């Protein structure tokens, strides 16, 4: 059933920002969440979306051998004073190769706090491949706090791959991002996080991944920019309990009075666990600014270009 016509104008604007205007309402499965309710839902031949019976939220069931399909599940908060909590479960059938586009946009128009807490669980079947894209944004002229606190749990069956690409570029006053999971034999969990904070915004990232399957792999990459008086914290724990490979990397740029704390942690519970962590925090190098200024850019424009290139990676 499709109810796209029920979306308000602010939701439509937020969807364009979250999904870069790419939602195919004619052919794709989707669920549009607006201010805690459903503003549009549609299943496809291979992807079924059904409401949960025990909590607010949905279950997304992707049939085995589903190839080349995309499902969209964005959430929008369109005014101040909304507290949204949702539980979404993804069941990905074996041998599937799909894209999931999520994300949240909060529009503040007043003085009250608005929040969205999305609790997502992924159960990825054998030999399945999932690309998960998530973008968080905050907009609007109101001075009420915008909070987005996502919680993600991942269970990867053998030979499966989950690629997570998450982005938050300013506008969100406070965020606590928690991701945990278990990785099966020969499975891979690949996470790339991009965060930029400014003003007095705060962002806390907490990764915890356990590799129990032989020859499993995990790669966590965080690129962040802390501007003005904002503060960020990055925590990651990778546990290797068998023959496996794990890598954690945190690169951060400080601008103005921005501050960043990074604490990667590794635990090797097996002699054949190969684990690496890296962390680098610093300001933009003066020679980088100078080089771009010789090409005609102002100092502010040069800084913007460097940050843009850094976050894209």
User: What is the full DSSP assignment across 185-226?
Assistant: TT-EEEEEEEEEE-TT-EEEEEEEEEE-STTEEEEEEEEEEE
130 by Cβ neighbours in 10 Å (0-12 / 13-18 / 19+) ranks as buried
* Cα angle 220-226-229, degrees, rounded to a multiple of 5: 145
Q: What are phi and psi of 13, to 5 degrees?
A: -65, -45
Instruction: Quote the CA–CA distance of 175 and 168 in Å, as a whole number.
Output: 10
Instruction: Quote the CA–CA distance of 296 and 244 in Å, as a whole number.
Output: 49
Output the CA torsion sign for 170, 171, 175, 178. negative
Radius of gyration of the chain (CA): 20
pLDDT value at residue 5: 53
Instruction: Quote the CA–CA distance of 219 and 204 in Å, as a whole number.
Output: 19
Mean pLDDT, range 75-102, rounded to an integer: 96
pLDDT value at residue 2: 45
Using the 8-state DSSP alphabet, how is residue 151 labeled? Answer: E
Domain that holds residue 106: 4-312
Strands 216-226 and 83-92: unpaired
Strands 151-156 and 114-124: parallel
At how many degrees (to 10) do helices 286-293 and 299-312 cross? 120
CA distances from 107 to 17, 49, 131 (A): 12, 26, 27
Q: What is the pLDDT of residues 84-96, one digit of tens each?
A: 999 999 999 999 9
110 by Cβ neighbours in 10 Å (0-12 / 13-18 / 19+) ranks as middle
pLDDT value at residue 188: 98
Instruction: Quote the CA–CA distance of 114 and 158 in Å, as a whole number.
Output: 40
Using the 8-state DSSP alphabet, how is residue 287 labeled? Answer: H
Q: Residue 262 is encoded by which pair of tokens? A: 């990074």
Q: What is the pLDDT of residues 224-238, one digit of tens each?
A: 999 999 999 999 999
Residue 3 scores a pLDDT above 50: no
Mean pLDDT, range 224-253, rounded to an integer: 97
Least confident of 22-26, 60-64, 116-120, 267-271: 22-26
Strands 67-72 and 75-77: unpaired
pLDDT value at residue 173: 96
Q: How confident is the model at residue 18 (pLDDT cuts 50, 70, 90)?
A: confident
Q: Please indicate, yes or no, whether the overall pTM of this predicted structure exceeds 0.85.
A: yes
Q: What are phi and psi of 119, to 5 degrees?
A: -105, 110
User: What count of other Cβ atoms lies within 10 Å of the Cβ of residue 46?
Assistant: 19
Number of domain units in the chain: 1
Q: What are phi and psi of 153, to 5 degrees?
A: -125, 135
Instruction: Quote the CA–CA distance of 124 and 84 in Å, as a whole number.
Output: 26
């Amino acid at each position: 059933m499709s109810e796209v016509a029920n979306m308000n104008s602010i939701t439509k604007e937020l969807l364009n920002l979250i999904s870069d205007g790419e939602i195919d309402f004619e052919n794709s499965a989707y669920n549009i969440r607006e201010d805690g309710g459903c503003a549009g839902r549609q299943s496809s031949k291979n992807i079924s979306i059904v409401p949960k019976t025990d909590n607010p939220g949905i279950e997304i069931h992707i049939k085995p051998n589903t190839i080349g399909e995309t499902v969209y599940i964005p959430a929008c908060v369109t005014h101040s004073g909304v507290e949204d909590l949702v539980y979404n479960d993804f069941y990905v059938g074996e041998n599937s190769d799909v894209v999931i586009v999520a994300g949240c946009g909060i529009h503040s128009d007043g003085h009250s706090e608005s929040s969205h807490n999305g609790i997502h669980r992924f159960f990825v079947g054998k030999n399945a491949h999932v690309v998960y894209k998530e973008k968080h944004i905050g907009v609007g002229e109101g001075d009420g706090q915008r909070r987005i606190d996502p919680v993600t749990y991942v269970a990867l069956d053998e030979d499966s791959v989950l690629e997570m690409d998450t982005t938050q570029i300013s506008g969100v006053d406070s965020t606590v991002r928690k991701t945990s999971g278990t990785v099966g034999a020969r499975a891979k969990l690949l996470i790339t996080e991009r965060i930029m904070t400014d003003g007095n915004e705060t962002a806390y990232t907490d990764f915890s991944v356990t590799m129990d399957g032989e020859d499993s792999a995990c790669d966590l990459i965080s690129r962040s920019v802390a501007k003005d008086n904002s503060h960020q914290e990055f925590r990651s724990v990778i546990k290797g309990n068998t023959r496996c490979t794990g890598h954690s990397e945190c690169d951060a740029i400080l601008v103005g009075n921005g501050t960043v704390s990074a604490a990667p942690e590794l635990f090797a519970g097996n002699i054949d666990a190969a684990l690496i962590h890296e962390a680098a925090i610093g300001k933009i190098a003066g020679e980088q600014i100078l080089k771009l200024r010789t090409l005609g850019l102002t100092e502010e424009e040069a800084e913007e270009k460097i940050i843009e290139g850094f976050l894209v990676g």
